[in-house]
Amino acid sequence: MHRAVRIVSWLYALAVYAFIFLPVVVLVLFSLQSTSFPIPPFTGPSLRWYEAVLSDTRLTSALVNSLLVASISSLAAVTLGFLSAWGFARFVLPGSALLRGLITLPLTVSYLIIGMGLLVLFNWAGVPKSLLAAGIGHVVINLPLCFAIIYSQMGDHQVNIERAARDLGAPEWKVLLLITVPVMAPAIFAGFFLSMTFSWDEFVISFLLTRFETTLPVEIWNLLRSGLNPKTNAVGSLVFAVSIVLVVLFELTLLRRKPA
C-alpha cells in the first residue's frame, strides 16, 4: 500500500514535469533530425539544420539584432530602474506610495496593449518602425521589473554607508558610483539578466514596432509561416539555450547570498 502510494506520487511528479518540458524536449530533439520534416520517426542526430540556420544571413542578423536590442534596452531599463529605486528609497516624495504603484503598473498590462499604445504614439510622433522603437518598448516593459527587484533590496542599512561616504568628502555621483552601485550589484545584475531574458524572446512588441530589420522571434515567426521544418526547431533551440543561460545568471546573482 505504502509502496503503491510512493510509485503513484513519483508517476504524478513525472507527468507534471513531462507536461512542462516535453514540448521543449521535442523541439530540441527534432532540431537534430537529419531528414526534412520534424516528425517521428527520429532520424538523427545531425547538425545539418544548425548549419542551415547559421548560414542563413536573415536569421543570423536577426540574432545579432536581438542580442543588441536585449543588451542595450536592458542596460537602459536597469539604469533607470536603479535611479528610480534609489530616489524612492532615499528621498521623501509627496505621494511616494502612489508613484511607486504607478511605476510598477506596466507589469500588469499585456504586452499587446503596450505594443499597440507605442505603435499609435510613435506613429503620431513620427518615429519610424525600427529596432530602436522595439528597444524603447522593451525598456517600457522591463523598467518596472528592474525597479521592483532593486527597490526590494534597497534597505535602510545602506543609508549610513552612503552617509559615511558623503561625510568623507564624496560628491553625490561618486557616492552612487563607488558605494551604492557596488553594494547593490547583485540586485542590479539580477534585474539586468531578467530584462535580457524577457527582451530576448519578446515577440508582440517587436512584431508591431519593427519593419525591415527585426529581432529573432519575429524572424522565426516569418519562418514558421512557410510551414514547420527542422530549421525552425534548430533556431528555437538556440533561443531556448540563450534564455537558459540568462536565467541561470539571474538566479546566481540574485540568490547567491554573501556572508554578512
Residues near other proteins, by CB under 8 A = 157, 160-161, 163-171, 174, 179, 182-183, 185, 258-260
For residues 132, 134, 139, 142, the Cα torsion angle rounded to the nearest 10 degrees is: -150
Closer to other proteins by Cβ: residue 48 or 90: 90
Minimum distance from CB of 259 to other proteins (Å)?
Answer: 6
Nearest to 122 by CA among 101, 140, 99: 140
Minimum distance from CB of 93 to other proteins (Å)?
Answer: 17
Minimum distance from CB of 67 to other proteins (Å)?
Answer: 29
Minimum distance from CB of 167 to other proteins (Å)?
Answer: 4
Closer to other proteins by Cβ: residue 162 or 201: 162
Minimum distance from CB of 86 to other proteins (Å)?
Answer: 17
Closer to other proteins by Cβ: residue 5 or 167: 167
The count of other CB atoms within 10 Å of the CB of residue 158 is 17
Please report which helix (H) or strand (E) contains residue 194, including its range: helix 185-200
Closer to other proteins by Cβ: residue 180 or 232: 180
CA distance 140 to 144: 7
Q: Determine the straight-line distance between the first and last CA of the chain, rounded to whole angstroms.
A: 48
For residue 63, what is the DSSP state? H
Closer to other proteins by Cβ: residue 107 or 181: 181
Closer to other proteins by Cβ: residue 170 or 247: 170
Q: What is the 3-state secondary structure (H, E, C) of 198-236?
A: HHHCCCHHHHHHCCCCCCHHHHHHHHHCCCCCHHHHHHH
CA distance 125 to 252: 41
Whole-number Cα distances in Å, 69 to 4, 56, 110, 145, 246: 52, 20, 20, 17, 15
Minimum distance from CB of 164 to other proteins (Å)?
Answer: 4
Closer to other proteins by Cβ: residue 39 or 185: 185
Structural contact between residues 238 and 170, judged by C-beta atoms closer than 8 angstroms:
no
Q: What are the start-end ranges of the H helices in 32-153?
A: 48-54, 57-90, 96-104, 111-125, 131-153
